[in-house]
Amino acid sequence: MSFSILVTGGAGYLGSTLVPALLAAGHKVTVLDNFMFRQSPLNQLCAEPGFDVVRGDARDDAVLRPLLRQTDIFIPLAALVGAPLCDNDKQGAESINLGAVRAAIALMSPQQRILLPTTNSGYGIGEPGQHCTEETPLRPISLYGRTKVEAERAALDRGNAISFRLATVFGMSPRLRIDLLVNDFVYRAVTDRALVLFEAHFKRNYIHVRDVAGAFLHGIEHFETMRDRPYNVGLSDANLSKLELCQRIQAHVPKFVFLEAPIGEDPDKRDYIVSNARIEATGFRPRHSLDDGIRELIKGYRMIRNAAYGNV
């Protein structure tokens, strides 16, 4: 079945991979984006008859209201993503990550569907050796995590919604982010050949950006059986510490050297492992491994030699 889908923030890291996938699946897609990073990752889609784009702010009801009237499914990707960016603009984090979602919900009819990306960073610091499931209490330790947790609560309380608690995303995308952990570490391995690790034992889960797009397509296809629940989305074989991640990268970049710092600490205190069993029980399986992502990032970084591809 074909749907009319509104994607706010559709020109970002996730959106520039998701929107082409939605179009390829036969859906009609409208993107609302303010293009704050001054890139044009959707240029190749302008010839697609099912694609439309509006330049504007997801917080502007006057812009959002007429777009939502034509929408079957709302995907709010517009956000200040990541703890550093949110800390740099606390008011923007509150108004975009949370306020814009609440405002859209107030404008929507009960029949319209929401597929919301959140983050498994809401788990904060997990219990040693214990997998975080969707029933694990959420204890975000950053403004970014808190705004996303509250946005999820607003969407699920409203109903007719699915929330995807995304693991740390990696991989090449038309609007690339180098500041994500895997992307950053591979960039340093390729360009600097060296990295100093702080609190190298801290663990987290990972997922390829194309598998994030796959999760949204899966949610659209299986909406009735998945609705009104959150789902962790990650690679079940990639609950890795930063040290283990570097070892995986070193297998592809043998000259890469990494050292554990004897003093100092990482400002990002997230440390947890995650179970993705709930979404796997619906039939979803990621198609792209961590090693697949490392290999493609290495190719990409042969072309990219600057820091423009980041959020901070």
Res 125: pLDDT: 86
What are the pLDDT digits (tens) for 162-220? 999 999 999 999 999 999 999 999 999 999 999 999 889 999 999 999 999 999 999 99
pLDDT at 37: 81
Rounded percentage of the chain residues whose pLDDT exceeds 90 = 87
Output the pTM of the full model.
Answer: 0.95
Going along the chain from its start, the domains and CATH numbers come out as 4-170+206-233 (3.40.50.720), 181-204+237-301 (3.90.25.10)
Q: Dihedral through CA 43, CA 46, CA 50, CA 55, nearest 10?
A: 70
Task: Judge contact between 31 and 19, C-beta under 8 A.
Answer: yes
Q: How far apart are the first and last CA of the chain?
A: 39
Helix, strand or coil for residue 305?
coil
pLDDT band at residue 310 using 50, 70 and 90 as cut-offs: low
Instruction: Please write the tens of the pLDDT for every residue from 119-167.
Output: 998 898 888 889 999 999 999 989 999 999 999 999 999 999 999 999 9
Whole-angstrom Cα distance, residue 245 to residue 239? 9
Span 226-268, pLDDT tens digits = 999 999 999 999 999 999 999 999 999 999 999 998 877 776 7
